[in-house]
Chain A
């Protein structure tokens, strides 16, 4: 009796499977132009004040437009701002807003911006990322609960005029204001629904798309916002974002035509992909740096020369070519090439010397500092258990011990959360880490070495001269002169080597040749409003 049931059930299953198999591997045909984007991870939140990841930015930035937004190449262009004036002291910016509507037809007003910036300043909101807006007057104080969010330096003069006051002149403000933390929110919707405002049935947005559906770990579905100010130039009707955590699997899905693009592939597959589908592969520099922090509060790392010696010994080319394998440029500075408002040209003084010779020098430096067979240099190198880090660790261990047999690094591995917890608590000796800039400006890298940035200044680097120079650079209104000063400061910091730069990140995108309007860029921001397909364009 039971057996019969089992057999029946199994028959049902197999017939179901057979039925399913007839579905085939090709997408349904439909009139609407749909983009399927592999988006690396599941968004933790679509509320601009609760989000924190680049993958969330990809979705949120398709739904909302701030005062500034990105063009197809990721550079800041006016978004909601139609025009603006900067006061002579560089501290007050007055924006005239373009006439624009939320997706429900309500107008976007200056008070939507004021509301949103007050909301993110309120500690009750729990905005983890509010520190990005600290250049705006009062936001830092409000987020610490010292003043009321109503007192921040953001004012609606009238419906279409917004005034923003700054703590210091910030010539990079347009770039900063492209970030989702500075986006406006539909005040009428947020006030009506509270924290639930971000649900598909409630949310209204002012960007090219609006949220239609969000299935956890499955997809986020956006549809065209007919009320978007530039709607006539948007090609796509629908966008699906998939949380493609396993990027090998995502690569298969791109090749199979299930995804039109995926914003990551495993570095080790570069050669293979270049052979099989070269027209899909897009590798180019990204705004991020992998670097090691040296705890300068420890006696053994007090000496800048000793720190330099450890920096010299590392064979960055080997790490880039043999371990990471995706064309990551070796890093001898903190700020990557291609960052806006920056002349570049900063590098460790020994960057051009071959690594063998550098290790000789390192040995001499360490001997001069009193290390030797009788007084070995022992230290712990802590690294994260994720990604390529476990494969880099033994390489750098070997690099350091090849200075001399009395340089004895020990490897310690940790979960990412615990790792950063230890770094902030200064509970480490040498530790790996990575930094990806939030906006395209050198200050977003250099602030990491300012003493006031502790605990994010993991190495506890404390150089008042450096801090003064960076602060002075931020007061400078002329972008070129500011860039020079920033570069001078970075050179000063790199000479002291509180951090050891290893390699710069690269973007590894797989983009179907069908996709048009995709421009490789250093911020790796590709808004769907610029994307189309060659067959769709040809049909028009």
Chain B
């Protein structure tokens, strides 16, 4: 297993280089630049700014410089947030995104698997339809709509929760409730559907029949044998899904006014903040590679049929 992990990590390096190169050159091809503002600045000042950020160099040179700095762990200064550098911005935003994303993912996995398992065991009964109906709603109502509705009902009308911001000193942990639920709902729905499908398949398989024939109690069969195989498809889904949820959601951050990293994916690109775009690309790509690796390892733990050393 160790050599497997090592191999995967080595493959990750060229992958990252390709991804950053693609992102870098695509970004440079896009028209406009960070210093094309509504109110133009004197040419002299513009030139000095380009010089300061090395943007007066040929693009290939800029890329090489960037990669050399990146190898040393330097993500560079932000071109838009003049008082902060990219590492600082991501360092402030990423923990918030991770906190909210992981809570949402945990909630989603717990509730989603439970609902999915229930639906599978009560297949075609009313509780199955109820769960699947809920899942349909969860998938089809986007957070952009669900967030404001929850904020209106739970925040404004019932006055139970703050409707936005992340000021722990003022409101404590209650600020997390609405964003975590909103972020988790679509995931709960997807996970419940995945879980139901795979659970139905598993409980029809021969070894479950064998286990039942041996006279094991129904809960023991379900929990010890069925559930363990049924979560396998879920694990492959969770890798990339967690990366997406953990790295922050623009919508959730806007609706609940949270200082996460998700907004940078859109804002930095629109404002041509090249270094910040590269920063979030590097972080996001590394996260996906890492979580996919983690999912594969977890898969092997759960499924003894998967071997690494072949």
Give the B-binding residues of A (Cβ under 8 A): 2-3, 6-7, 9-14, 16-17, 19-25, 27-28, 42, 44-47, 50, 52, 123-124, 126-131, 140, 143-145, 195, 198-199, 215-219, 240, 242-246, 248-250, 252-253, 255-256, 258, 415-418, 420-421, 424, 455-456
Instruction: Please report the C-alpha to C-alpha distance between residue A3 and residue B93 in the assembled complex, in whole angstroms.
Output: 31
| Across-interface contacts of A130 in B (CB, < 8 A) | 41-42, 45
Given the known interface contacts A215-B92, A417-B271, A424-B40, the answer about A258 and B162 at a Cβ–Cβ threshold of 8 Å is: yes
CB of A27 within 8 A of CB of B171, answer yes
| Across-interface contacts of B166 in A (CB, < 8 A) | 218
Stretch at the interface among B29-37, B125-133, B287-295: B29-37
CB of B81 within 8 A of CB of A44, answer yes
CB of B159 within 8 A of CB of A25, answer yes
CB of A420 within 8 A of CB of B159, answer no
| Across-interface contacts of B52 in A (CB, < 8 A) | 126
The bracket for how many chain B residues form the interface is 35 or more
B115 within 8 A of A: no
| Across-interface contacts of B148 in A (CB, < 8 A) | 248-249, 252
Given the known interface contacts A126-B49, A215-B259, the answer about A253 and B170 at a Cβ–Cβ threshold of 8 Å is: no
CB of A10 within 8 A of CB of B174, answer no
B106 within 8 A of A: yes
CB of A418 within 8 A of CB of B32, answer yes
Having A9-B106, A45-B81, A258-B165, one finds 19 other A-B pairs with CB under 8 Å, namely A2-B231, A6-B113, A9-B110, A17-B176, A20-B177, A25-B159, A25-B160, A25-B161, A27-B170, A28-B169, A46-B83, A50-B83, A126-B45, A126-B49, A144-B44, A217-B259, A217-B263, A415-B270, A417-B37
| Across-interface contacts of B257 in A (CB, < 8 A) | 242-246, 249-250, 253
Supply 30 A–B pairs (Cβ within 8 Å), ascending by A: A2-B231, A3-B231, A6-B109, A10-B106, A10-B110, A14-B110, A19-B173, A20-B175, A23-B161, A23-B172, A23-B173, A123-B45, A126-B52, A130-B41, A131-B39, A131-B42, A143-B44, A198-B83, A217-B259, A218-B259, A245-B257, A249-B151, A252-B152, A253-B162, A258-B163, A258-B165, A416-B38, A418-B31, A418-B36, A424-B40
**Residue in chain A with minimal CB distance to B224:** A3
B200 within 8 A of A: no
Shortest CB-to-CB span from A448 to chain B, Å, is 11
CB of A123 within 8 A of CB of B259, answer no
| Across-interface contacts of B272 in A (CB, < 8 A) | 417
Shortest CB-to-CB span from B241 to chain A, Å, is 15
Shortest CB-to-CB span from B102 to chain A, Å, is 9
**Residue in chain A with minimal CB distance to B176:** A20
Shortest CB-to-CB span from B171 to chain A, Å, is 5
CB of A252 within 8 A of CB of B156, answer yes
- The contact of A199 among B40, B47, B83, B223, by CB within 8 Å, is B83
CB of B44 within 8 A of CB of A13, answer no
B89 within 8 A of A: yes
Instruction: Please report the C-alpha to C-alpha distance between residue A19 and residue B263 in the assembled complex, in whole angstroms.
Output: 28
Instruction: Please report the C-alpha to C-alpha distance between residue A3 and residue B199 in the assembled complex, in whole angstroms.
Output: 14
State the 10 A-B residue pairs at the shortest beta-carbon distance, nearest first: A10-B110, A23-B174, A20-B173, A217-B259, A218-B259, A23-B172, A45-B82, A417-B32, A50-B82, A246-B254
**Residue in chain B with minimal CB distance to A38:** B257
Shortest CB-to-CB span from A314 to chain B, Å, is 23
B256 within 8 A of A: yes
| Across-interface contacts of B83 in A (CB, < 8 A) | 45-47, 50, 195, 198-199
B180 within 8 A of A: yes
Shortest CB-to-CB span from B190 to chain A, Å, is 16
Tally of A-B residue pairs with Cβ under 8 A? 213
Given the known interface contacts A21-B174, A249-B255, the answer about A143 and B161 at a Cβ–Cβ threshold of 8 Å is: no
As a 0/1 sequence over residues 126 to 159 of chain B, the CB contacts with chain A under 8 angstroms (1 = contact) are 0000000000000000000000100110011001
B209 within 8 A of A: no
| Across-interface contacts of A131 in B (CB, < 8 A) | 39, 41-42
Instruction: Please report the C-alpha to C-alpha distance between residue A16 and residue B107 in the assembled complex, in whole angstroms.
Output: 11
Instruction: Please report the C-alpha to C-alpha distance between residue A23 and residue B155 in the assembled complex, in whole angstroms.
Output: 12
Instruction: Please report the C-alpha to C-alpha distance between residue A9 and residue B92 in the assembled complex, in whole angstroms.
Output: 25
Instruction: Please report the C-alpha to C-alpha distance between residue A14 and residue B173 in the assembled complex, in whole angstroms.
Output: 12
CB of B171 within 8 A of CB of A249, answer no
Give the A-binding residues of B (Cβ under 8 A): 31-33, 35-45, 47-49, 52, 80-84, 88-89, 92-93, 96, 103, 106-107, 109-111, 113, 148, 151-152, 155-156, 159-167, 169-177, 180, 223, 227-228, 231, 253-260, 263, 270-272, 298, 301-302
**Residue in chain B with minimal CB distance to A455:** B40
CB of B256 within 8 A of CB of A249, answer yes
Shortest CB-to-CB span from B8 to chain A, Å, is 21
Instruction: Please report the C-alpha to C-alpha distance between residue A50 and residue B43 in the assembled complex, in whole angstroms.
Output: 16
**Residue in chain A with minimal CB distance to B52:** A126
Shortest CB-to-CB span from A94 to chain B, Å, is 28
Shortest CB-to-CB span from B116 to chain A, Å, is 13
**Residue in chain B with minimal CB distance to A438:** B39
Instruction: Please report the C-alpha to C-alpha distance between residue A42 and residue B257 in the assembled complex, in whole angstroms.
Output: 11
Given the known interface contacts A249-B256, A256-B163, A418-B31, the answer about A217 and B93 at a Cβ–Cβ threshold of 8 Å is: yes
CB of B160 within 8 A of CB of A21, answer yes
Given the known interface contacts A24-B160, A25-B160, A417-B271, the answer about A252 and B155 at a Cβ–Cβ threshold of 8 Å is: yes
**Residue in chain A with minimal CB distance to B251:** A246
CB of A44 within 8 A of CB of B80, answer yes
| Across-interface contacts of A140 in B (CB, < 8 A) | 42
Shortest CB-to-CB span from B263 to chain A, Å, is 7
CB of A246 within 8 A of CB of B255, answer yes
Instruction: Please report the C-alpha to C-alpha distance between residue A250 and residue B198 in the assembled complex, in whole angstroms.
Output: 43
- The contact of A13 among B35, B81, B110, B260, by CB within 8 Å, is B110
Instruction: Please report the C-alpha to C-alpha distance between residue A19 and residue B171 in the assembled complex, in whole angstroms.
Output: 12
Shortest CB-to-CB span from B64 to chain A, Å, is 24
| Across-interface contacts of A9 in B (CB, < 8 A) | 106, 110
CB of A13 within 8 A of CB of B84, answer no
Given the known interface contacts A50-B83, A52-B37, the answer about A143 and B32 at a Cβ–Cβ threshold of 8 Å is: no
Given the known interface contacts A24-B160, A123-B48, A246-B257, the answer about A253 and B223 at a Cβ–Cβ threshold of 8 Å is: no
CB of B82 within 8 A of CB of A253, answer no
Shortest CB-to-CB span from B72 to chain A, Å, is 21
Instruction: Please report the C-alpha to C-alpha distance between residue A12 and residue B80 in the assembled complex, in whole angstroms.
Output: 39
CB of A144 within 8 A of CB of B164, answer no
Instruction: Please report the C-alpha to C-alpha distance between residue A265 and residue B55 in the assembled complex, in whole angstroms.
Output: 38
| Across-interface contacts of A416 in B (CB, < 8 A) | 38, 270
Instruction: Please report the C-alpha to C-alpha distance between residue A144 and residue B106 in the assembled complex, in whole angstroms.
Output: 57
| Across-interface contacts of B80 in A (CB, < 8 A) | 44
**Residue in chain A with minimal CB distance to B34:** A417
CB of A6 within 8 A of CB of B171, answer no
Shortest CB-to-CB span from A294 to chain B, Å, is 19
Shortest CB-to-CB span from B50 to chain A, Å, is 10
Instruction: Please report the C-alpha to C-alpha distance between residue A243 and residue B106 in the assembled complex, in whole angstroms.
Output: 29
| Across-interface contacts of B177 in A (CB, < 8 A) | 17, 20-21
CB of B39 within 8 A of CB of A456, answer yes
Instruction: Please report the C-alpha to C-alpha distance between residue A455 and residue B37 in the assembled complex, in whole angstroms.
Output: 12
Instruction: Please report the C-alpha to C-alpha distance between residue A65 and residue B200 in the assembled complex, in whole angstroms.
Output: 70
Instruction: Please report the C-alpha to C-alpha distance between residue A255 and residue B148 in the assembled complex, in whole angstroms.
Output: 14
Shortest CB-to-CB span from A132 to chain B, Å, is 9
Instruction: Please report the C-alpha to C-alpha distance between residue A23 and residue B39 in the assembled complex, in whole angstroms.
Output: 45
| Across-interface contacts of A418 in B (CB, < 8 A) | 31-32, 36
**Residue in chain B with minimal CB distance to A144:** B44
| Across-interface contacts of A246 in B (CB, < 8 A) | 254-255, 257
Shortest CB-to-CB span from A411 to chain B, Å, is 19
Shortest CB-to-CB span from B253 to chain A, Å, is 8
| Across-interface contacts of A195 in B (CB, < 8 A) | 83
Given the known interface contacts A44-B81, A52-B37, the answer about A252 and B174 at a Cβ–Cβ threshold of 8 Å is: no
| Across-interface contacts of B173 in A (CB, < 8 A) | 16, 19-20, 23
Instruction: Please report the C-alpha to C-alpha distance between residue A198 and residue B231 in the assembled complex, in whole angstroms.
Output: 52
| Across-interface contacts of A50 in B (CB, < 8 A) | 82-83
